[in-house]
């Protein structure tokens, strides 16, 4: 029996592989020609990755425009050239005596509409070249500010020098940049030390399939995990 793969597959991406790696695994393991993903997660990040299959690839733009929710952690007192733990340390400063209330008060200043400058290490293209390729060569170029909106920036826990948070935001928000800017606002610098995407639009990571489980599924079992085109109207607003 020949199976048709048209719809959405929710994957809980582990740390390590790129978003494109996940697409390749699905394409090669199940011989699906049209496979894509909606909203890149950095290799070190985990969580919800929406995979579009077959005819659903036409919905990529709509799905990528949905709001997102993330949980993660920031390490204060240390900045890196990539704004996350994967980069080289650029500066270190003592972390002042801070309470979670003080941190929350500063976090609240980031709520609402704002313009954000994307980091150099990103997939945004300048004259056809991804910024991260220029960054690898040690080059820095001017980046155009992007409009974003933060609905929530909650500091959930703090144990010097690490602050754990939850962010609800519009598409195109770079949480690495937010962590860097937050550190600058505090006065001691900081970088993103962990990130997990939990929600994208109406889709939740709690309903996703792990990569480990994915690699054990038969073609028929995989098909049962796919949200078919006919049902997507209930999820896509």
pLDDT value, residue 133:
75
DSSP 127: T
Residue 237 in any domain: the answer is no
pLDDT, residue 143, reads: 82
Cβ contact 171:39 at 8 Å: yes
Q: Do 29 and 110 share a domain, yes or no?
A: no
Flag whether 79 is in a domain: yes
Reduced to 3 states, what is the DSSP secondary structure of residue 147? strand
- Residue 73 and residue 61 share a domain: no
Residue 2 belongs to a domain: no
CB atoms within 10 A of CB 213: 13
Residue 50 CA: distances (Å) to CA of 18, 44, 174, 208: 13, 17, 18, 9
CATH number, domain at 208?
3.30.2350.10
pLDDT at 236: 64
185 inside domain: yes
Same domain, 85 and 121: yes
Domain enclosing residue 44, as ranges: 7-65+202-232
Do residues 89 and 183 share a domain?
yes
Question: Does an H or E element contain 103, and which?
Answer: helix 100-108
Tell me, rounded to whole angstroms, the distance of Cα 125 from its chain centroid: 18
Estimate the share of the chain in helix, then strand, then coil, as percent rounded to the nearest 5. Answer: 30, 35, 35
In tens, the pLDDT along 199-221 reads 999 999 999 999 999 989 998 99
Answer yes or no: do 127 and 161 share one domain: yes
Helix, strand, or coil (residue 136): helix
Same domain (yes/no): 214, 158: no
- Tens digits of per-residue pLDDT, 114-151? 999 888 777 777 777 777 777 777 777 788 899 999 99
Q: Among this protein's residues, is 6 annotated catalytic?
A: no
For 143, 160, 173, 197, the CA distances from 146, given in Å and listed in that order, are: 9, 31, 8, 20
User: Residues of the chain whose pLDDT is less than 50?
Assistant: none
- Are both 191 and 207 inside the same structural domain? no
Please check whether residue 121 lies inside any domain of the structure.
Answer: yes
- Partners of 210 in the beta sheet? 12
> Does 87 lie in the same domain as 98?
yes
Of the listed 6, 12, 42, 66, which one is catalytic?
42
pLDDT value at residue 142? 80
- Structural domains of the chain, count: 2
Beta-strand ranges (E) seen in the chain are 7-13, 35-38, 46-53, 68-76, 78-80, 89-92, 112-116, 125-126, 129-130, 146-159, 162-169, 190-200, 203-204, 209-210, 227-228
Looking at the structure, do residues 49 and 146 belong to the same domain, yes or no?
no
Domain for residue 100, yes or no? yes
Q: Which two tokens stand for residue 116?
A: 């954000």
CA angle 79, 183, 115 (to 5 degrees): 105
pTM of the shown model: 0.92
118 and 149 both lie in a single domain: yes
Instruction: Identify whether 1 is part of a domain.
Output: no
């Amino acid at each position: 029996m020949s199976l048709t793969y048209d719809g959405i597959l929710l994957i809980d991406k582990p740390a390590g592989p790129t978003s494109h790696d996940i697409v390749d695994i699905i394409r090669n393991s199940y011989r699906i020609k049209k496979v894509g993903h909606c909203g890149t997660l950095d290799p070190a990040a985990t969580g919800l990755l929406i995979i579009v299959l077959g005819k659903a690839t036409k919905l990529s733009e709509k799905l990528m425009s949905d709001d997102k929710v993330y949980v993660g952690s920031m390490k204060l007192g240390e900045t890196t050239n990539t704004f996350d733990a994967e980069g080289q340390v650029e500066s270190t400063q003592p972390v002042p005596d801070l309470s979670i209330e003080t941190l929350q008060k500063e976090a609240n200043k980031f709520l609402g509409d704002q313009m954000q400058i994307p980091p150099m290490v990103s997939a945004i293209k300048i004259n056809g070249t991804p910024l991260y390729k220029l960054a690898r060569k040690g080059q820095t170029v001017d980046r155009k500010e992007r409009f974003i909106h933060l609905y929530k920036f909650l500091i959930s826990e703090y144990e010097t020098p690490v602050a754990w948070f939850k962010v609800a935001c519009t598409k195109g928000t770079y949480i690495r940049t937010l962590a860097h800017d937050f550190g600058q606002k505090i006065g001691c610098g900081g970088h993103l030390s962990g990130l997990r995407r939990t929600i994208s639009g109406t889709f939740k990571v709690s309903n996703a399939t792990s990569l480990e489980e994915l690699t054990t599924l038969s073609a028929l079992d995989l098909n049962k995990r796919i949200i078919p085109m006919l049902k997507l109207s209930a999820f896509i607003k």
